[in-house]
Structure 1
């Protein structure tokens, strides 16, 4: 399998590291050798040590007919959207961890994949290293799923955990940034937008319908005060930023908002940068997934798992 990697930042570097350290085991599971034909990034320094075939121009990879699968890791939904479209139009498979792209442009992307008989996988886009996406899609599809809910943003969860320790929102955010858990511009995380991207994709996988993003009701954690968190503790409850999707006879409804949860709720114990996802099925009952939602190697692990699916699984689109 010949692959090209576009975007060699934190996660892209993690993919290269895992392929270097675990190549024998990975290739055994995938069923064939994996060749990194190209890597693409705006910084030449990413190629100093390993000396892969390098380019600053992603078009070089798109034009290479020998490349079977492209891993897109640049983020955003402008240039990444062009890369995704051209990848699929050229008959190449696509792996991405870009939830923003798929939640806002997914209808066109999934249709292109279907029209061109290629595959697109995105395990790393929803819960980082937690293999919830594959498990929900492949393991619960016959369970009559009616609802999915979860803590899907480690940054917000970390901030809320720190506020329980007595920090103000501003101080908790500052600590999250200093520890590398929050971006300098944390808007997508604290405003609930990132969570909305992810619950939207989970909803699509379960019910095969991508809800227009503007129809999702979103509320973040940036208005929660230290006093509100303390009052919740007195009641034995915690604030958690929860994304929820529900299917009823009236259709699919998705919302994101801070919610008070008690000890009887499995999401109560999901702390710091961890994610927790619940699904409720008419025939299956309740399932629960827990793990790290971000990080270079956990997310890279999810991307490597998608290489296995490219070779051995049916398309999700």
Structure 2
């Protein structure tokens, strides 16, 4: 399988690292040799760049007829949207960790994939290294899921955990940035937008319907104060930024907001950069998933898993 990777930031470097360190194991599981035909980025200062065909022009990657699968890791929904469309129209499979792109442009992207009979997978877009996407779509889809809720943003969860330790919101954000759990611009994280992107994608996977992103009720953690945290602790509770989607009488409702939860809630002990997701199904009842929701190697692990699905799973449409 010949692949091209577009975007060699934190996650892209993680993918390269895993493909190098676990090459034999990965190829054995997928059932064929993996060859990185191209890497593409605007930045030329990438370690070991001489080991790859490098370009700043993503069109060179897409024009290579030998490349079967593109891994898109640049983020955003403008240039990334063009890359996604051109990838699929060139009849190449697409793997992406770009929840922003899929939450806002997913309906069109999936239609193009379907028209061109190629595959698109996005395990790394929702919960880092926690395999919630495959579990829902390929595992528990028949359980009659009525509701799904969870902590889907490792940055916000890390900040809230640090605030419980006594740090101010500002200091907790700075620590998260230093530890690599937060970008310099963490607006999407702290305002709940990133969580909204992810819960909307989970909603689509469960009920096969894209909800207009503008209709999602979104409130972040940027208004939570030190005093709020202390009051919650004194009552044995803690704040968690929760994304929740439910379906009742054919109506899908999606809400993102900080919620006070107590010790009986399975999400109570999901701390630091971890994600936790709980689903409820009419037949299945409750299931719970927990794992690292941020970081280069956890997300890269999910992306490598998508390479397996390219060869061995049906398309998600």
The alignment's TM-score, normalised by the length of structure 1, stands at: 0.98
What is the 5 A alignment of 1:177-192? 177-192=177-192
Deviation at 1:50, TM superposition (A): 4.8
SS in 1 for 2:146: strand
Once the two structures are superposed, what CA deviation does each residue of 1:244-281 show, in whole Å capped at 9, x if it has no partner? 00011041000100000000000000001100001100
Preserved contact between residue 130 and residue 292 of structure 2 (Cα < 8 Å): yes
What is the 5 A alignment of 1:132-281? 132-281=132-281
Deviation at 1:234, TM superposition (A): 1.3
- The equivalent residue for 1:118 is 118
1:30 aligns with 2:4: no
Preserved contact between residue 158 and residue 271 of structure 2 (Cα < 8 Å): yes
Preserved contact between residue 121 and residue 316 of structure 1 (Cα < 8 Å): yes
SS in 2 for 1:269: coil
Q: How many Å separate the matches in 1 of 2:39 and 2:185?
A: 27
Q: How many Å separate the matches in 2 of 1:159 and 1:13?
A: 25
Q: How many Å separate the matches in 2 of 1:47 and 1:273?
A: 27
SS in 2 for 1:310: helix
Q: How many Å separate the matches in 1 of 2:50 and 2:201?
A: 35
- The equivalent residue for 1:9 is 9
- The equivalent residue for 1:69 is 69
May I ask how many residue pairs the two structures share in their alignment?
317
Segments of structure 1 that go 5 or more residues without pairing to the other structure are none
- The equivalent residue for 1:60 is 60
Tell me whether 42-51 or 287-296 shows the greater mean CA deviation: 42-51
Q: How many Å separate the matches in 2 of 1:127 and 1:198?
A: 8
SS in 2 for 1:267: coil
SS in 2 for 1:205: helix
Q: How many Å separate the matches in 2 of 1:47 and 1:224?
A: 40
Query: Which contiguous aligned blocks of 4+ residues in structure 1 show a shift greater than 3 angstroms?
Result: 47-50
Deviation at 1:235, TM superposition (A): 1.2
Preserved contact between residue 148 and residue 245 of structure 1 (Cα < 8 Å): yes
Preserved contact between residue 129 and residue 299 of structure 2 (Cα < 8 Å): yes
1:44 aligns with 2:50: no
Preserved contact between residue 143 and residue 282 of structure 1 (Cα < 8 Å): yes
SS in 2 for 1:172: helix
Deviation at 1:179, TM superposition (A): 2.0
Once the two structures are superposed, what CA deviation does each residue of 1:118-158 show, in whole Å capped at 9, x if it has no partner? 10000000001111110111111100000000000011001
Segments of structure 2 that go 5 or more residues without pairing to the other structure are none
Deviation at 1:45, TM superposition (A): 2.3
Once the two structures are superposed, what CA deviation does each residue of 1:15-36 show, in whole Å capped at 9, x if it has no partner? 1111111111111111111111
Q: How many Å separate the matches in 1 of 2:81 and 2:60?
A: 17
Deviation at 1:171, TM superposition (A): 1.9
Deviation at 1:201, TM superposition (A): 0.6
- The equivalent residue for 2:289 is 289
Q: How many Å separate the matches in 2 of 1:248 and 1:107?
A: 22
Once the two structures are superposed, what CA deviation does each residue of 1:182-239 show, in whole Å capped at 9, x if it has no partner? 2211100000000000001111111111111101000000001111111111111100
Deviation at 1:178, TM superposition (A): 2.3
SS in 2 for 1:45: coil
The alignment's TM-score, normalised by the length of structure 2, stands at: 0.98
| Aligned-CA RMSD value | 1.0
